[in-house]
Amino acid sequence: MKLLVLGGTAWLGGTVAAEAVARGADVVCLARGTSGSVPGGARLVVADRDDPAALDAVRHEHWDAVVDVARQPGHVRNAVAALEPVAGRYVFVSTANVYADQRTLGQDEDSPLLAPLESDLMASMEEYGPAKAACEQAVVTTFGADRCLIARAGLIGGPGDRSGRTGYWPWRFAHPSNDEGRVLVPDALDRPTAVVDVRDLAAWLVDVAERGTAGVFDAVGQPLPLGEALETARSVGGGSTTLTPAGEQWLADHGVEEWSGPASLPLWLRDPDWWGMNARTGARARAAGLTNRPLADTFTDLLAWEEQRANPHGAGLTDDEERELLAALA
């Protein structure tokens, strides 16, 4: 297979490129090269997609498939116009953020979407969902539904997750902040959560690019209660730790953020308007071959990866923060 990856210098795109190279594909990645390098065996074409002529170096040869991870509608509108005459099919990595209703649990791909962004440029991450909806629209309109696949990814986790959202928990259980081994968790253990391992997602994206599978798919992890995910992280982290739940209002009152970032408890979603994001069925993608490895395997490999980082968690609580909160809770 001759595969063009638009991206490939960052996490998911790089994993897709590496997977395709491992299967013997001829892989070219197009990016600026500012996010990193491309995996061994792939070739980087340096181009800035803000430039309307960015695709010139790749628009005159045939591609069996294109995989695109862009988020700017202008980048995708330009790419599909340039590549439709020379590419067999287009696989676009979208997001579950395109859905209008993030509250209802158990939804599938037929639920309503946000209105697509008209502008070529998303002004801020507030427009991420509409921007990705606009990207999807450009792909389907130009390539036609039979020649494209839209993969609406849920939260991606696994080794390489620099956000720390999925790495914090196995790391925290392996490195408790206090001698008693108490780990602060939100008292929201029945809340849905779902993580799709970056390697499972990348392997499936290469599968569908090879097979020419078309359609719209939620490429998500298997939903499970947050408490189950935390127990899995605890079993991977080892040691004799215990979960210490704190009330959601209490956490908010003490400045603890939900979901991600500094001073947060990652994966915790307090706002019911977002609970559905982690509870999409993903049945259609699984029927089309997406395989979700056990969360314990993802956490085990994540922990090994986190242990090698200088700053082991990009999200969550520092030791001092957790100790202070545990003392205040007592």
Q: Which of 48, 108, 180, 307 binds ligand NAP (CB under 6 A)?
A: 48
Which stretch, 46-54, 185-193, 248-256, 291-299, contacts ligand NAP (CB under 6 A)?
46-54
Give yes or no for residue 79 binding ligand NAP (CB under 6 A): no
Which positions from 89 to 108 touch ligand NAP by CB under 6 A, shown as an x/- string?
----x-x-------------
Site for ligand NAP in 134-193 (CB under 6 A): 153, 155-156
Instruction: State the minimum distance, in angstroms, from the CB of residue 132 to ligand NAP.
Output: 6
* Contacts within 8 Å (CB) and 24+ apart, 100-107: 101/276, 102/273, 102/274, 102/275, 102/276, 102/277, 103/272, 103/273, 103/274, 103/275, 103/276, 104/276, 105/192, 105/275, 105/276, 105/279, 106/276, 106/279, 106/280, 106/281, 107/276, 107/279, 107/280, 107/281
Which stretch, 48-56, 107-115, 264-272, 286-294, contacts ligand NAP (CB under 6 A)?
48-56
Q: Give CA angle at 180 (179, 186), nearest 5°.
A: 115
Instruction: State the minimum distance, in angstroms, from the CB of residue 173 to ligand NAP.
Output: 21
Asked whether the beta carbons of 189 and 227 are under 8 A apart, the reply is yes
Nearest partner of 6 among 23, 31, 25, judged by Cα: 31
Instruction: State the minimum distance, in angstroms, from the CB of residue 293 to ligand NAP.
Output: 16
Site for ligand NAP in 6-45 (CB under 6 A): 7-13, 31-35
Binding site for ligand NAP (CB under 6 A): 7-13, 31-35, 48-50, 69, 71, 93, 95, 153, 155-156
